[in-house]
Structure 1
Amino acid sequence: MSELIYLDNSATTATDPRVVEAMQPYWSKVFGNASSLHGEGKAADAAIQRSIDTIAGVVNCRAGGPPELVFTSGGTEADNLALKGVAHAMRARGRGNHVITTAAEHHAVLDVAQELAGEGFDVTFLPVDAYGRVTPEQVAEAMRPETVLVSILYASNEIGSINPIADIGAAIKGKNRRVPFHTDAVQAPGLLPLDVQALNVDLMSLAGHKCYGPKGIGVLVVRRAIALKAQIVGGGQQAHRRSGTEPLPLIVGLARALELAEAERVATCASLLNLRDDLIRQVLASIPEASLTGHPEERLAGHSSFVLRWLNGDSILLDLAELGICASGGSACTSGQQEPSHVLLACGVDSDRLMGQMRFVLGKHNTAAHVERLVYHLRSLVERHRAMAPQLN
């Protein structure tokens, strides 16, 4: 097999060697429990505080008293903590029980919102446009006096569309400044700004492995005024917001990954945009069955996603895998499920294209040669599968 081509960077990314290097001392040299009072514990606590300072600088939040950061096991836990933590805390204070989100969220938000509905919360699932986006006016109009939380995806892992988060946040605050605004920004590091103050958000979820950092670590940015009920209790770590011994090496790795992602964001995006646009142009020009999903311009750099009319995307992706090309049909969290994507359904994609979903997400290690090889093999495979599709003959 020739060189492996990895085009699934929305699912996960390879850990940057500089991140691995930063983590290395914290496996066996500096290994104490940050809650311990002895020297090893203090060294661990100091390393965590340095990481907090770094991340706080990237997202523009407070690093102390306590930090406006809660470390989690990943993006899914961060989303769970944001939605359940705020909704439960606000209802307990008698503030209301209305939650707003969209029909095109990642399952880490969508399923939690549905669970909250089962607990008696009144949940509004806003419809999205053909690109999977909502407008600030739409969000503001859905707000009520009893609204306790709004959660809107920053950028879609499936179709790459970017929501106007800063404008949505401004609209929410213009309607009622007391309503917390959360965004799942797991896809954003290294590709979009993360300044929570400029974005007008109160809570933001991030995950290390989406930005060349380690798996198993995420963080929820929580502005100080936000009421948050802990979902994991025990030792009272992280100011009682999320108990459990802090995973020191992973926290250090997350901080380094976010630091690098932000420092290199402009250059990375410029490179990825050129490759992405070339990939989209070649696919649409050479494969008549293909149509682009997501917004043609307001989309993540590097992200391309398509649907193929009357063809099965998973079958073609399996053939690509045999050729050393790694890609997916949409969300890696639901890959292998023989059901149409809830995101495509929400976007109103035609039924004859729903099972033809394909996603090719470029990363900083990809090249023009990778795009050329993908398009060559994809065109050949579509022709082969077309010959076997009765609807196309």
Structure 2
Amino acid sequence: MESTIYLDYAATSPMYPEVIEVMSEAMQTTFGNASSIHQFGRKSRGYLDEARAIFARSIHAKSNEIIITSGGSESDNTAILKTAEKYESLGKHIITTNIEHEAVLKPMKYLESKGFDVTYLPADKDGFVSAEQVKAALRNDTILVSIMSGNNEVGSIMPIAEIGSILKNSNPAVVFHTDAVQSYGSQDIDVDEMNIDLLSVSAHKIGGPKGIGFLYCRENIKLPSLILGGEQETKRRAGTENIPAIIGFQKAVELMMKDKKQRNAYYRKLKEKLVNNLKQAGVDLEINGSYDSSLPHIVSLHLKGIDAERLLIHLDLAGIAVSTGSACTAGNVDPSHVLSAMFGVDHPAISETVRISLGLGTTEEDIENVVIELSNIIKRLK
């Protein structure tokens, strides 16, 4: 293939051209420190306040409930570690799932080393955890529940509103955090209706820049700052604000909110075309998770009898970027903890899965070309 095709948007997305444009202008004209009282600082502060209002509006929150962070990992760490620190005197039990992102699971493991008791709810074969599981796991010493709203590998959408309703009525009250990094771009979120107390978002998943995100923190929950230093973000997150990135993030959110419904329908159409055309080409596959109750831009495919790592290399040589069902760090490939949790560690899907994720710029022609290349490569590998 002459051109390249990028289908790994669940990992990161290219920036919208409009985002690049506003960031480029901001880098040239807006350099003041938002904490300074002179006109340069006030100009930056104005952009910061405007962006915060847009972020809040996107999840039906208040502006003063938005904490600007460096992204999803910092937001998750702040929500989990600082909630545990603040409410430790009330209990040391936390509930999460066994298919969370590492930015949730690793803070949980850290807290376990500090004497906290963490319950990892098991996901079913479709990658779901039920509200009933959460209710059954609650204890008198439970202080925090952290459950992602949409899974980054198989796309399963969790019953966040049902869980929130249970936790709102629990006695004693329990803080509810959701990692919405993967779902924020496609799912409608109302933090009040869904009874969410803490919510993590990252800009680079929705066509914004890397290194910027936010943590929604309900105003009655006053968490200590994870990063110590200055008094930015009303003492909730130290560090000089990255105004050009914040402006870029705002633009990405505005574009996301503008055409979300049409974009979701388009992604579902492309996903259906991909699966149907692969089957028509004779590819032996199964969809991991639920096809209907999943994020519109993610499809996880078990390509039976095909080693995913070898397939990935061949696709890359053909100019096609997808990912496997594995986490690869510095060249070390570990089995996907999500697929292992869903199917068991010995299931063939663990080593025979590719994740294809759609986004800005994905076309029907891209899908058609991927089907041709993928089916031809699979025939050669067999």
* 1:177, distance to aligned residue in structure 2 (A): 6.8
Distance 1:74 1:283, change over 3 A: same
Task: Give, in whole Å, the separation in 2 of the partners of 1:163 and 1:14.
Answer: 26
Which residue of structure 2 aligns with residue 8 of structure 1? 8
Distance 1:28 1:332, change over 3 A: farther
Q: Give the aligned CA root-mean-square deviation in angstroms.
A: 1.6
SS of 2:332's partner is coil
Counterpart amino acid of 2:258? A
Q: Which string of whole-angstrom CA distances, capped at 9 and with x for unpartnered residues, describes residues 73-119 of structure 1?
A: 1111111111001111111xx11111100000011101111111111
1:165 has 2:130 as partner: no
Task: Give, in whole Å, the separation in 1 of the partners of 2:4 and 2:330.
Answer: 20
Q: Which string of whole-angstrom CA distances, capped at 9 and with x for unpartnered residues, describes residues 49-89 of structure 1?
A: 011111111111111xxx10111111111111110011111
Which residue of structure 1 aligns with residue 357 of structure 2? 361
Q: TM-score, normalised by structure 1?
A: 0.93
Conservation of the 8 A alpha-carbon contact between 1:329 and 1:335? no
Conservation of the 8 A alpha-carbon contact between 1:189 and 1:258? no
1:21 has 2:21 as partner: yes
Task: Give, in whole Å, the separation in 1 of the partners of 2:133 and 2:282.
Answer: 36
Equivalent residue pairs, number: 381
Distance 1:131 1:78, change over 3 A: same
Structure 2 gaps of 5+ residues are none
Conservation of the 8 A alpha-carbon contact between 1:134 and 1:163? yes
Task: Give, in whole Å, the separation in 1 of the partners of 2:360 and 2:294.
Answer: 17
Conservation of the 8 A alpha-carbon contact between 2:297 and 2:359? yes
Distance 1:301 1:46, change over 3 A: same
SS of 2:294's partner is coil
SS of 2:90's partner is coil
Structure 1 gaps of 5+ residues are 387-393
Conservation of the 8 A alpha-carbon contact between 1:310 and 1:353? no
Which residue of structure 2 aligns with residue 318 of structure 1? 313
Q: How does 1:14-93 map to 2 (within 5 A)?
A: 14-63=14-63, 67-91=64-88
* 1:371, distance to aligned residue in structure 2 (A): 0.9
* 1:20, distance to aligned residue in structure 2 (A): 1.8
Which residue of structure 1 aligns with residue 227 of structure 2? 232
Which residue of structure 1 aligns with residue 194 of structure 2? 199
Which residue of structure 2 aligns with residue 266 of structure 1? 261
Distance 1:275 1:312, change over 3 A: same
Query: In percent, how many aligned pairs have the same letter?
Result: 39
SS of 1:338's partner is strand
Task: Give, in whole Å, the separation in 1 of the partners of 2:137 and 2:76.
Answer: 21
Counterpart amino acid of 1:38? H
Which residue of structure 2 aligns with residue 219 of structure 1? 214
* 1:330, distance to aligned residue in structure 2 (A): 3.6
Conservation of the 8 A alpha-carbon contact between 2:140 and 2:172? no
Conservation of the 8 A alpha-carbon contact between 2:325 and 2:351? no
Which residue of structure 1 aligns with residue 289 of structure 2? 294
1:380 has 2:376 as partner: yes
Which residue of structure 1 aligns with residue 130 of structure 2? 135
Distance 1:354 1:285, change over 3 A: farther
* 1:199, distance to aligned residue in structure 2 (A): 2.4
Distance 1:177 1:266, change over 3 A: farther
* 1:288, distance to aligned residue in structure 2 (A): 4.8
